Amino acid sequence: MNQHKVNVYQTSDAILAQQLKGWDKVIGDFNKKDPFFKKIVDSQKAYAKRVMKYLLMNQPNYKLAYENEFGSIAKVCRYFKYFRREGIFMVHRNLNGRNLL
């Protein structure tokens, strides 16, 4: 990450919630236009509903395991900023030393 001047940020829950609302609208529009698309999305959602409950209950805390072995995740590199909330990591490149966030 240092070599390529990449900063890693965790998407906040507020931003993720807005992204999911937007995605629901996009999917809703496509579902209305294309019955086959809707069939696929419905199938994916049914699968996710069955599988994710087990995954969420059974998945270990990988952050805890990492920090037990290697120390604080915030020390991975000087460009790494970790916010202690669950979410998705997004990568943004710096251009001329400025953040794209």
Helices (H), 34-95: 35-58, 62-70
Chain mean pLDDT for the chain: 76
What percent of the chain lies above the pLDDT cut of 70?
70
The DSSP output letter for 97 is T
77 and 6 in contact (C-beta within 8 Å)?
Answer: no
Q: For the segment 63-83, what is each residue's pLDDT rounded down to a tens digit?
A: 888 888 888 876 664 444 444
d(CA 10, CA 66): 17
Domain ranges of the chain: 6-93
What backbone torsions phi and psi does residue 93 show, to the nearest 5 degrees?
Answer: -90, 150
Q: Do 39 and 33 meet the contact criterion of CB atoms below 8 Å apart?
A: no
pLDDT at 2: 67
